[in-house]
Structure 1
Amino acid sequence: MTHYVDGFLLPIAPEHIVEYQKVANLAGAVWKEHGAIAYWECLGDDLDIPDMVSFKKSAGCKDNETVVLAWIVYPSRAARDEINSAVMADPRLKDMCQNDSLFDYRRMAYGGFKELVRHD
């Protein structure tokens, strides 16, 4: 069975990480309740690798920012579309999705991905 993955890369200032983690915990629970297989949010740590494009650069980070790399796994693209519709309508997340005080949504990279290789 082939899964479908939504991927995210976003810049975040250090002073917003604790609050963002609370929001991400709620979001993960809601996505899972609506049918997502897995929900991961990871905070940048070892990002300055010589001779490679930095995640910070890719995310358009300012000097004081780091990145969050996140992904959500779904059973299929059709399931992703249904799950995301349900999540966006969920009252627990409606206000959160309108809040741009934790990070700049316009600088977030987002896309849907077909599974290419998988090792469980």
Structure 2
Amino acid sequence: MTYVAGFLTPVPNGNKQAYIESTRKAWSLFKEYGALQIMETWGDQVPAGEHTDFRRAVALEDGETVCFSWMIWPDKETHDRCGASMQSDPRWQDMDMPFDGRRMMWGSFTPIFEESV
């Protein structure tokens, strides 16, 4: 069964193109380590909530946009091998992060329902 990694990232508006390029560069490595799909999205309608919301989750600052992203992996083991490679493969250290990585959120998830057209 597939495995999903999800991310919320606060990106300065002026770094949108740099973020896209960073994603392209990282995708080549993720794909090499077995990722099946990546989806990077730029916040368009990200409303403030009463109790919690995407903005608060990443402590969004003026002039930033929340990016919502996910990757599909063939299984948890492939995902975990890629994660472990970040400690040993020096190419990960060459990645640009045109955002404040301390406020990025991520998690990994086991699908419980999937449907498509």
Shorter-normalised TM-score: what interval?
0.7 to 0.9
Conservation of the 8 A alpha-carbon contact between 2:9 and 2:58: yes
Q: TM-score, normalised by structure 2?
A: 0.84
CA RMSD after TM alignment = 2.1
Give the distance between the partners of 1:48 and 1:95, measured in 2 at CA. 34
Deviation at 1:92, TM superposition (A): 3.7
Conservation of the 8 A alpha-carbon contact between 1:31 and 1:87: no
Which residue of 2 is the match for residue 116 of structure 1? 112
Deviation at 1:72, TM superposition (A): 1.0
Conservation of the 8 A alpha-carbon contact between 1:34 and 1:87: no
Q: TM-score, normalised by structure 1?
A: 0.82
Percent identical across equivalent pairs? 30
Secondary structure of 1:42's counterpart equals strand
Deviation at 1:50, TM superposition (A): 6.8
Q: How many pairs does the alignment contain?
A: 116
Give the distance between the partners of 2:50 and 2:90, measured in 1 at CA. 45
Segment of structure 1 superposing worse, 5-14 or 44-53: 44-53
